[in-house]
Chain A
Amino acid sequence: MFRQKTVADKVRENLLGIIVLLILALLPMRANDFLLDTLVRTYIFVILAVTLDFFSGTTGYLNLGHSFIFGLSAYLTGILYVYLKIPTEIAILGAGLLGTFGSLALLLPSLRVRGVYFAILSLLYPIIFIGIVTTQPFSLYLGGEGGLRIKQLFLDIARKLPPTERLAFLHNAYYYLSFILMVASFIVLYKLAYNEFGFKLRSIGQDEELSEAAGVNTTNMKIKGFLLSAVFASYAGALYAGMRPPITVDFVNTGSILLPTLTAMIVGGAGTIIGPAIAAFLLTLLYQYLWGLVGLWRTVAYMIILLAFVLIRPQGIFFDIYLRIRRLVDKVIG
C-alpha cells in the first residue's frame, strides 16, 4: 500500500527550496547594506514575475498592464497617507486591498476582447494613468513629475533608535518584509498553478473554446486568476512605495516595471512559475550589479535579451535548468 508522506519525505522533496530559503533568510547577518537593498528590489521583481506568469503564462492573456496594478496601489498608498492622513504602515495594508479591486478596472472591460487586443488594451492602461497623473489639474494632487512624498515605512520607529542603528534596522525590516511577501506569493501561486486551478487556467491558454465546451467557466477562472495575480502584485507595489518614496510615475512605467518582468517570464519559461522566479532573481541582481560594467546600457542589454529569447527560444531556459538541477539533487539524495 502507499504509505503517508512523512515530514522527512516532504523535506527531501523540497530540500533545494528549503536550503535556498534558509540562506536567504540568514543573509542579513553577513550582507552589506547595498546587497540588502538590491535584494529587496530583487524580491519585488520576483513577485512581479511570478504574478504575471501565474495569469499570463497560463492563460495566454498577455497582461501588459501589469505595471498599472503595481503602480496603482503605490499611488493609493500615497493618497491614503497624504489625503486621509493614514500612517504609512496601515496605508500599505489598505492600498494593497484597494489596488486589487482597482485593477479589476483593467480586467473587466478587457474580458470582452481576445488575444492581441487584450494585450493592446492592457498596454494602454499604464500609459493613460501616467498621462493623467502628470497633467494638470490631476498633477497638482497626485504629485505630477515630482511624485507623492510620504513618510517612509517604519521611519518613526527608526528615529527612536540610536543613530548608528537606524539604518540597519530599516534595511533589515524591509528585507524581511519583502522576503516574506515573496515567499508567500510564490508558495501560494506555485501550489495553485500546479493544481486543478492551474490546470483550468492552462486549458484556457491551450484552447479557450474547447475548455469552455469541456465545462470550464472560463470567465470565472480568468477573473479569479487575475485577482490572485493582482493581490500579490498590489501588495508588492504598496510595500515598495512605503520603502522607496517618493511615489513617481516610475512605479507605473512600462519600460522600467513591465519589460524586466516580461523578460523574466519569457526567459524563465512562461507558465512554470518557478522559472520566472529564478529568472527574475538572477536577472535583477545582474541588472543592479551591471551598473558598474556597462552603466546606462544595461537597460538596452536587458531589452536585447528579451528580444533574443522571444525570437530564438520563446520557451525560456531557466525552467529546464531548474529541472536538470532538481533531478541531480534527487539522484544525490536517493
Chain B
Amino acid sequence: MEFTLIKFIFIFGVLHSFIYLSFALGFSLVFGVAKIPYLSYAGLYTLSAYLMHLLLTKAGVPTIISAILSIGAVGGLSIVIGDYIVKPSMKNPLSIFISTMTVSYIVEEVFRIKMGLTPVALPALRGVITIAGVPVAQQWIAVLIIGAVSSFLVLIYLSKTATGKSIRAVAESWYESMIIGINPYKVFRVTMLIAGLLAGVASISLSPLKAVVPSMGWSPLFVSFAIVILGGMGSIKGTVVASFIYGFVEQFVTWKYGGAFASIVPLALIVLVLIFRPTGLFGEKE
C-alpha cells in the first residue's frame, strides 16, 4: 500500500466524477426545462438519506426496500415541488429562487431539530480493496457503478426515447414544443421526477462515505451548480465534460490541500465562471 498523492487524485477523481455526473444531469435537466437553478435539490438529497435511515431503524424495513422507498418518495416530492412551487411562479424566477431555497432550509432545520448532530450510519459495503496500492472502500465501487449506470441510462433516455427527446425540445423552447404537439407541462413533471430520483440515488449511495448530517445537501447542490455552470447551461455535453473536469479539480484540491478547502472549490468556480465566462464551456448565449 502506498500513499502517493497522484494516485489518490486520479482514482478518487474517477470515482467522484461519475456520481457527480449523475446528479448534475438531474440539475441540468431542470435548469434546461424550467430555466431555474433547482435549489430544492439540497433538501431532496438530505431527505432521502434520513428517510432511508428512519425506515431502516424505526420501521425495520429491509435495506433494498428502504432504498427504493426513499428514492421514490424523493422523486415524488420533486414532482410536488414542481407543481406547487415552481410552476405557479414561473414568470417570476426570483420568487422560485427564494421558495425552492426555503424548501431546502426547511428540510435542514427539521432534521437538525429532530436528529441534531447525532451520527447516522447508512448501510454500506464493508470491505476494502486496493487499487494500484490505494485503499478503496468497496462502497466506492458501488458508487462508481451506480453513478456510471444512472448517467448512462439518463443519456440514453434523452437521446433515444420519445419523452427524452421532448425534454430536449422543451428545454429549447416551450412555445415551439407546444406547436409540434408536445405537452411541456407533462415533460416538466417527468424532468422533476428524474431529478428527484437522481438526487435520491446519489444520496443513498454516496452519503455512507461522507456523512449524514442535516446540512449534507448543500454540498451536492453546489457541486451540481458548479458543473452545470462550468459546462454551460442547457448543454448536456457540457455537463458531461464539466463533471470530469470538476471531479478531478476537486479531488486535486482535496488531497493536496485538505477536504476543508475542497468545499470552497465549487463556490469559487461558480463565482469565477459567472464573472468571466457566464455561458460556460459549451453553453449558448442567451
Interface string of B189-207 (1 = CB under 8 A from A): 0000000000000000000
Asked if B102 and A303 make an inter-chain contact with CB atoms under 8 angstroms apart, the answer reads: yes
**Bound form: Cα–Cα A314–B99 in Å:** 11
Interface size range on B against A: 35 or more
Query: A316 at interface (Cβ–Cβ under 8 A)?
Result: no
CB within 8 Å of B: which A81-106 residues: none
Closest residue of chain A to B94, judged by CB?
Answer: A62
Query: A262 at interface (Cβ–Cβ under 8 A)?
Result: yes
Query: B1 at interface (Cβ–Cβ under 8 A)?
Result: no
**Bound form: Cα–Cα A121–B228 in Å:** 15
Q: A128-B267, A311-B88 are in contact. Are A303 and B106 (CB under 8 A)?
A: yes
Asked if B106 and A128 make an inter-chain contact with CB atoms under 8 angstroms apart, the answer reads: no
Query: A300 at interface (Cβ–Cβ under 8 A)?
Result: yes
Shortest C-beta distance, B143 to chain A (Å), equals 25
Query: B93 at interface (Cβ–Cβ under 8 A)?
Result: yes
**Bound form: Cα–Cα A307–B116 in Å:** 23
Asked if A310 and B110 make an inter-chain contact with CB atoms under 8 angstroms apart, the answer reads: no
Query: B274 at interface (Cβ–Cβ under 8 A)?
Result: yes
Shortest C-beta distance, A322 to chain B (Å), equals 23
**Bound form: Cα–Cα A311–B236 in Å:** 31
Asked if A127 and B267 make an inter-chain contact with CB atoms under 8 angstroms apart, the answer reads: yes
Interface size range on A against B: 35 or more
Shortest C-beta distance, B142 to chain A (Å), equals 29
Q: A120-B270, A121-B271, A135-B261 are in contact. Are A307 and B113 (CB under 8 A)?
A: no
Shortest C-beta distance, A255 to chain B (Å), equals 6
**Bound form: Cα–Cα A134–B263 in Å:** 11
Interface string of A299-311 (1 = CB under 8 A from B): 1100110110011
Q: A116-B97, A135-B260 are in contact. Are A300 and B278 (CB under 8 A)?
A: no
Query: A216 at interface (Cβ–Cβ under 8 A)?
Result: no
CB within 8 Å of B: which A211-270 residues: 255, 259, 262, 266
**Bound form: Cα–Cα A310–B274 in Å:** 27
Query: B176 at interface (Cβ–Cβ under 8 A)?
Result: no
Set of chain B residues within 8 Å of A127, measured between Cβ atoms? 218, 222, 267
Question: Which of A113, A123, A131 makes the CB contact (< 8 A) with B278?
Answer: A113
**Bound form: Cα–Cα A284–B229 in Å:** 37
Asked if B113 and A296 make an inter-chain contact with CB atoms under 8 angstroms apart, the answer reads: yes
Query: B36 at interface (Cβ–Cβ under 8 A)?
Result: yes
Set of chain B residues within 8 Å of A116, measured between Cβ atoms? 36-37, 93-94, 97
Q: A113-B274, A124-B271 are in contact. Are A311 and B37 (CB under 8 A)?
A: no
Q: A113-B278, A135-B261 are in contact. Are A300 and B109 (CB under 8 A)?
A: yes
In the complex, 30 of the A-B residue pairs with CB atoms within 8 angstroms, ordered by the A residue number, are: A60-B94, A62-B94, A62-B97, A112-B275, A116-B93, A116-B94, A117-B274, A120-B37, A120-B225, A120-B274, A121-B270, A121-B275, A124-B267, A127-B218, A128-B267, A128-B268, A131-B260, A131-B263, A132-B264, A259-B102, A262-B98, A297-B113, A299-B109, A300-B106, A303-B109, A304-B106, A306-B102, A307-B99, A311-B85, A311-B88
Q: A131-B267, A135-B261, A136-B258 are in contact. List 16 more A-B contacts (CB 8 A).
A: A115-B94, A116-B93, A121-B275, A124-B270, A131-B263, A131-B264, A132-B264, A135-B264, A296-B113, A300-B109, A300-B110, A306-B98, A306-B102, A307-B106, A310-B99, A311-B95
Chain B interface residues (CB < 8 Å from chain A)? 36-37, 84-85, 88-89, 92-95, 97-99, 101-103, 105-106, 108-110, 113, 218, 222, 225, 258, 260-261, 263-264, 267-268, 270-271, 274-275, 278
